[in-house]
Amino acid sequence: MSEPIATPRPRLGHSMVRANMAGAGAALTIAGFLLIVFQFIALHAALVRDVHVQARIVGANSVAALLFNDRRAAEETLGALEASPSLRAAGIFSALRKPLALYQHGDAAPVLAPDAAMLRDSHVSTLTTLEVVEPVESERRVIGYVVVRSSLTELYMQLLGYAVLTVSVGIGAMGLAYLVIARMRRAVLQAEAHLDYLAHIDSVTELPNRHAFNERLQVSLKRAGQAGAVGLLLLDLDNFKVVNDTLGHNNGDRLLRQVARRLNDVIDQANLRAVLCRIGGDEFAVIAELSGRAQIAETEAATLADGLAKRILAALAAPFALDLHQIYVTASVGVSLYPHDARDVQALTRNADTAMYHAKNHGKNAAASFTSEMDQQARRRLRVEADLRRALDRDELLLAYQPQVRLRTKDAHDTVISKANVYGVEALVRWRHPEIGLIGPGEFIAVAEETGLIVPLGLWVLRTACEQAVRWMREDGITLQVAVNLSARQTRDPALVENVMDVLRETGMPPHQLELEITESVLMEDIEDNIALLESLHAAGISLSIDDFGTGYSSLAYLQRFPIQKLKIDRSFVQRMPGDGEAIAGAVIAMAHSLRMQVVAEGVEDPEQLALLRDAGCDLGQGYLFSRPQQADTLLAWLNRLDTAEDDGSAVFADSEAAPSASLPSSLAG
């Protein structure tokens, strides 16, 4: 059954709150302690100042008593201190520090005569009392001293009140801080949970995404250990881009959600511990634990994985409903097994991806299990791609030319070729790799198209073919129509028309001698844009033709809008002649002539096909019956032999001269 993937739990918890609160509490405690100490110092300093003021007042009032040694007057002066309960004792002393009068509040101990240290510091403080001394002067002469002792009880009471206030504020601040931190914690937890969700869950399908896929696959491999087996299925929806382009991305997302639900249903019914992930735009992955830690044979694991892949394809066969539309979706599935095909996440994923593209390249709507041969093909493709980027610079590419022969001639026999009947040639690119040898266009053209190298490659083909055509015309007196293929990516290149005109101007090639071929399927991809493109090329005098006609889905209405001069019947129809291909070819020829187009038959290989095409009114033929593709010098020699045969009256038969080129093997000549 499908196993959900839980996103990681948030890493912030109560421990973080406790740590934050402990930190805040420590900070508040230190701050409160420092504030209390500062307040004590301030209060103590203020008390010292106040007691000094009191002592100076007593001293000022006791000048006469000291001058006349009047004890009673001195005691009366000290009696005024009763109004200040905090002043616990006081004394008036002579200049010789002899007591004149003493004052005590309650059971307080009497003050003593000031000593030298006290006179120097002007006050002495203990934990409970403060004593200050003030000299009494008359006519700038010290005549005595006043000593006043004050209790620190009132200071401590004030300090206690301040401390209580500070602690109360601190507790309130801690409570407020806790509320703020708790709220922040909730917000952070929610944000972190949302980020974890976004990091692991696809927003469209709510399936685990690529990040979660990598984590889960790693867990599954670890859980399987050495004895268990894990099947990885990668599936890519075929032609999903068409849905987005025609129905819009919103409907594309709706379709993806329906696909995800249907795939999850398949997994639930498979009775396997598996999880479905969306790892790309239209790409899904299924991680299936086929045996846990139990031993399982490779064949049994492969059977389970292949069975799951087939059920997936069967489930996708039914149409999907999008409003009023019935959408049919197919998929290409690649299967790779652990530990039989790979022993780590990267290799297992790479192998499944290789198998998936193998299925896609072999017709789509299929499943393929990874094999070592696929890996070799993938490695070769990588090498082809890497080396193709340097092939142009290294002059490894060459052109071969296959003649196109006129079929509608008054004096032509069934299989006789004359030089006058050679209408033109089609330029076909070949690659002579210095290590691999000759690589066929079927292998490297697709790579060039996918990587974008087809644009500089196509421009090189165009320039080289035009240069050769001009060389034949100027040096050999031979004028031939030269056909060059345009790829899908080239037609989307905004600089195509400008590049073609630059080549014609730089090589001196007459525009009417150049023919550009576009396949029917490419022509129908972006119809309006292609119409504008072809009209620009046609206005420049360039001939245009539709290649592989009959393999696409063009309509008569669109054909009338394209400025096309020629149709090429696909070789698959010609090869079915005689037979059902004969009727198709006849219908295409009749339709093309009604639209005032010429017709070229590709793949003509025997005289019977040639005769049938001539009877149907086909204009031009191209194929092994006339000649295989040849390099320029070999083609020139072949044309000269035709010329010699015409001069001496001998006949050159097509089937006897079908393969004059020794420079290209037959496997690469087509």
**Helix (H), strand (E), coil (C) string for 340-390:** CCCCCHHHHHHHHHHHHHHHHHCCCCCEEECCHHHHHHHHHHHHHHHHHHH
Q: Is the pLDDT of residue 670 over 70?
A: no
Residue 99 contacts by C-beta under 8 Å, 6 or more apart in sequence?
Answer: 91, 92, 93, 113
* Confidence band, pLDDT 50/70/90 cuts, at residue 290: confident
Phi-psi category of residue 364: left, alpha or beta, with phi > 0 → left and psi -120 to 50 → alpha: left
Q: Which of 72, 273, 265, 51 lies closest to 149 in space, CA to CA?
A: 51
660-to-51, 628, 644 alpha-carbon distances in Å: 130, 7, 16
Q: Does residue 146 sit within a domain?
A: yes
> What does the pLDDT read at residue 223?
86
Choosing from 323, 347, 370, the residue where a domain stops is 370
Long-range contacts made by residues 181-187, C-beta under 8 angstroms, separation at least 24? 181/17, 181/20, 181/21, 181/24, 182/17, 185/12, 185/16, 185/17
Residues 103, 154 share a domain: yes
How many structural domains does the chain have? 3
Name the average pLDDT for the chain.
86
- Predicted confidence (pLDDT) per residue in 641-653, tens digit: 887 765 554 444 4
Q: From the centroid of its chain, how far is CA 455? A: 26
Pairing of the two strands 437-439 and 397-406: unpaired
CATH at 271:
3.30.70.270
- Predicted confidence (pLDDT) per residue in 271-284, tens digit: 888 899 999 889 99
Mean pLDDT on 345-370: 90
> What does the pLDDT read at residue 197?
81
Q: Where are the beta strands (DSSP E) in 242-293?
A: 273-278, 283-289
* Confidence band, pLDDT 50/70/90 cuts, at residue 196: confident
**Tokens standing for residue 206:** 């709510």
Q: Does residue 385 sit within a domain?
A: no
- Predicted confidence (pLDDT) per residue in 438-478, tens digit: 888 888 888 888 888 899 999 999 999 999 999 999 998 99
Q: Does residue 339 sit within a domain?
A: yes
Would you say the C-alpha torsion 65, 70, 76, 79 has a positive or negative sign? positive
Residues 542, 485 share a domain: yes
Mean pLDDT on 369-396: 86
Residues 409, 355 share a domain: no
The residue range of the domain holding 531 is 402-427+455-669
Q: Is the pLDDT of residue 190 over 70?
A: yes
Residues 601, 473 share a domain: yes
Residues 634, 564 share a domain: yes
Residues 665, 542 share a domain: yes
- Predicted confidence (pLDDT) per residue in 2-42, tens digit: 555 555 555 555 666 677 778 878 888 898 889 889 998 99
Contact 177, 24 (CB under 8 A): yes
Least confident of 81-90, 243-252, 343-352, 639-648: 639-648
Contact 231, 308 (CB under 8 A): yes
Report percent pLDDT > 70 for the chain: 90
Residues 414, 533 share a domain: yes
> What does the pLDDT read at residue 503?
95
CATH at 120:
3.30.450.20
CATH at 525:
3.20.20.450
Residues 600, 481 share a domain: yes
